[in-house]
């Protein structure tokens, strides 16, 4: 307990799924939590539950593809809590049809690039100056195992997640001297609302059988690893990717047999 005592954490897409689980855990560990989400009702529920359990939390509605929204959410967080020590830049999405060059429109492609890449750039652009002023901080960017292994019909999604690896490593290299740690968290299959919307029911048992640990991950499995990266336990880690996938990457070749 109290691994994040007196810290301030900003978490994007924290109205549900992994983001919400991370917000709850960070609050339990002593952090004040800025909940940022485009869904006002869901984000508000996350912040309200944290407060109901005695934690400090405020909700700030934010479209992470909008530089204006991101700037305002970061400013409001700093004004409310005094600073920002930790950021979990978690927002992302998929297209709602087969993701290939024939099916994707230009609007699909640009939209996914904005949500899955541009948003993380915008967040970093606003919080890095605060962390430089504070002589340090921790940024965690959610990517996915899709950044390292390809699936059919996931061209734009996989491309965006691969690009995030370079963003994470560049930020880590550029700001290591400022004691700003930047790491990526790479979940495998996780039972979230987005996963349930995008994975057909008839494929779920097959996917589960391909995971060496034999189960789909829970949002809390990912949140606990985000906590590690946010805490001083990871004080000598930057520019890394932490896989949280039930052994999926370890057995990727076997999975294809």
Q: Residue 124's CB: how many other CB atoms inside 10 A?
A: 23
Give the Cα separation of 252 and 257 in Å (integer): 9
Annotated catalytic residue, options 24, 151, 157, 175: 157
126 neighbors 70 (Cβ within 8 angstroms): yes
**Within its chain, how far is the Cα of 219 from the centroid?**
11
Q: What is the DSSP string of 183-225?
A: EEEEE-SB--HHHHHHS-GGGHHHHHHHSTTSS-B-HHHHHHH
36 neighbors 60 (Cβ within 8 angstroms): yes
Bridge-based pairing of strands 180-187 and 241-244 is: parallel
Active site residue 24: no
Phi-psi region of 252 (alpha: psi -120 to 50; beta: other; left: phi over 0): alpha
Which residues, listed in sequence order, are joined to residue 138 by a DSSP beta bridge? 86, 181
| Token reading at 243 | 């896989």
Give the Cα separation of 179 and 234 in Å (integer): 12
- Give counts: helices (H), strands (E), the chain: 10, 7
**Catalytic positions, written as ranges:** 157
């Amino acid at each position: 307990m109290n691994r994040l005592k007196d810290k301030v954490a900003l978490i994007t897409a924290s109205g549900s799924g992994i983001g919400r689980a991370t917000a709850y855990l960070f609050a339990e560990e002593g952090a004040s939590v800025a909940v940022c989400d485009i869904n006002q009702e869901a984000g508000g529920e996350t912040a309200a539950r944290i407060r109901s359990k005695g934690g400090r939390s405020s909700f700030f509605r934010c479209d992470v593809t909008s530089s204006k929204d991101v700037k305002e959410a970061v400013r409001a967080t700093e004004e409310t809590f005094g600073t920002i020590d930790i950021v979990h830049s978690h927002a992302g999405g998929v297209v709602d049809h087969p993701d290939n060059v024939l099916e994707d429109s230009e609007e699909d492609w640009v939209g996914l690039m904005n949500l899955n890449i541009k948003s993380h750039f915008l967040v970093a652009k606003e919080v890095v100056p605060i962390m430089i002023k504070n002589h340090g901080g921790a940024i965690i960017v959610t990517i996915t195992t899709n950044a390292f292994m390809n699936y059919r019909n996931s061209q734009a999604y996989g491309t965006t997640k691969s690009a995030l690896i370079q963003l994470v490593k560049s930020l880590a290299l550029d700001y290591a001297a400022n004691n700003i740690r930047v790491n990526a968290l790479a979940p495998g299959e996780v039972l979230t609302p987005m996963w349930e919307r995008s994975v057909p029911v008839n494929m779920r048992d097959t996917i589960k059988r391909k995971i060496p640990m034999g189960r789909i991950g829970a949002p809390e499995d990912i949140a606990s690893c985000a906590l590690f990266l946010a805490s001083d336990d990871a004080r000598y880690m930057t520019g890394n990717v932490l896989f949280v996938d039930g052994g999926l990457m370890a057995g990727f070749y076997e999975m294809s047999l």
